[in-house]
Structures are given as C-alpha cells and as structure tokens.
Amino acid sequence: MRILVVGANGTLGKAVVAELGSRHEIIAAGRNSGEKVDISDIKSVRALFKRLGTLDAVICAAGDAHFGMLNTMTPELFDIALRSKVMGQVNLVLAGQESLSDRGSITLTSGTLGRDPILAGTSVSLANGAIDAFVRAAAIELPRGLRVNAVAPTILTESVEVYGAYMRGRRPVAAADVALAFSKSVEGAQTGQIYLVDA
Ligand SMILES: NC(=O)c1ccc[n+]([C@@H]2O[C@H](COP(=O)([O-])OP(=O)(O)OC[C@H]3O[C@@H](n4cnc5c(N)ncnc54)[C@H](OP(=O)(O)O)[C@@H]3O)[C@@H](O)[C@H]2O)c1
C-alpha cells in the first residue's frame, strides 16, 4: 500500500512508520520534515494531496492542543486544538477522500482524555471527543468503501517525561503497541471504530 503518514517524525508517528514501513511504501509528512504540510490550513492540505496522487491509506499522528486549567483558558487557547487537532484531522478527511483508492482508509488520532479527563485537559478532552464523534459519523457517509477510524491512546511511555505529571495514575503504553492499532485500522477492514489503547 501507498500510505501517507502525517506527523511521521513525531513520537507516535515514528512508531507507526516503524510498524508499517517494512510492508508498505510510506510517504512521511509534517510541518517541518518530509512532505511539508500544515493540516490546520485546508489549502496546504489540498496542495499536499494534489502533489501525491493516489494513496491507499492516510494516517494522522499530528495535532496540537494547549494544556491549562479551565480558569486560565481563553477562546484563543481552545482554538489551538480546534484548528489543529480537530479541524486539521477533519481537513485530511475532506481533502484526502478523493485521493484514496477504493476501500482505502483514513486513521486519525484522538486519545483517552475524551472519556478519562485530567486537570488542565479540557481542551484536549474536547478535541478527542470531537474526533471520536466525527469518525463515527463520517464512516457512514464515505463513498466507495472508504473507511475511517481513530486510535485513542493513553500516555505513551516515550512521553512520560513531558506529560507524566498531568497523567498520574495512568499506566503508559509503548508507542510500538499503539502503532499496532494503526496497523489494525489500515491493514484490516473495519470502519467507524475508535481503537482505545490503554494499559
Ligand atoms: N504523546 C502522547 O503521550 C500521546 C497520548 C495520546 C494521544 N496523543 C496524540 O498523538 C498525536 C501525536 O502526538 P505526539 O506526542 O507524537 O506529538 P509530537 O511528538 O509532537 O509529533 C507531532 C508530529 O506532528 C507534526 N505536526 C504537528 N502539527 C502539525 C500541523 N499543523 N501540520 C502538519 N504536521 C503537524 C509535527 O511535525 P513537526 O515536527 O515538523 O512540527 C510532528 O511530526 C497528537 O494528536 C497527540 O494528542 C499523544
């Protein structure tokens, strides 16, 4: 398969590329490495798909959000996750569907915080819940047998140093184990699924 991985150079993206790279042609993309794209900008996303031609799968392992206590949050701070993690991934579905071969797939990334909230996590929970709901709804409308799923990981072992203080009481999962859920989505046949990867 010809697979676009957006965020291929990130913590999760590298593990996804390691899992799928030996069996498939991977096209790596990101803001600053590989094929350049800003998923929050629909023009940039459309230009990416126009450059790449036909694909069999699109994976998104990218999407920013701001962590902050609710009483410090502003509309602008919520907008970071809405524009990047939510609309960035929706943009990939909107613009990417026409580039996909029949029965091709799009796999997005949400996270466990949509259903298991933490302090300072309202924006991330909002984004994760939105992506999960979007995936369930988009799956019943996509044409030509196209599929869409989301992977919802808890904190990655590789990210404990950065986010561990926010995520007390959660057992981390290795990025390589989360990557298996992307394999299940891309190399399987399911659609409209949220693959929870929790320890
Ligand atoms: N890490 C965790 O513990 C964890 C847990 C649950 C869910 N998640 C979710 O998993 C996803 C990836 O997280 P991560 O920790 O792997 O992040 P990361 O290490 O910061 O990597 C993110 C990658 O996405 C790219 N990217 C970011 N914004 C982009 C944009 N607007 N357009 C195109 N590419 C963009 C970055 O490219 P550049 O480097 O070129 O900027 C980078 O390659 C996020 O949605 C995150 O919420 C992560």
- The pLDDT tens digits of the residues spanning 37-78 come to 999 999 999 999 999 999 999 999 999 999 999 999 999 999
* CB-based contacts of 126, cutoff 8 Å, min separation 6: 78, 81, 82
pTM of the model: 0.98
- Give 10 Cα–ligand 1 centroid separation in angstroms: 5
- Give 98 Cα–ligand 1 centroid separation in angstroms: 24
8 Å CB contact between 152 and 112: yes
6 lines ligand 1 (CB under 6 A): yes
**Whole-number pLDDT of residue 175:** 98
**Whole-number pLDDT of residue 103:** 97
- Average pLDDT over the chain, rounded to an integer: 98
8 Å CB contact between 176 and 13: no
What digits encode the pLDDT tens for the residues 149-180?
999 999 999 999 999 999 999 999 999 999 99
114 lines ligand 1 (CB under 6 A): no
**Whole-number pLDDT of residue 199:** 84
- Give 13 Cα–ligand 1 centroid separation in angstroms: 7
8 Å CB contact between 148 and 69: no
96 lines ligand 1 (CB under 6 A): no
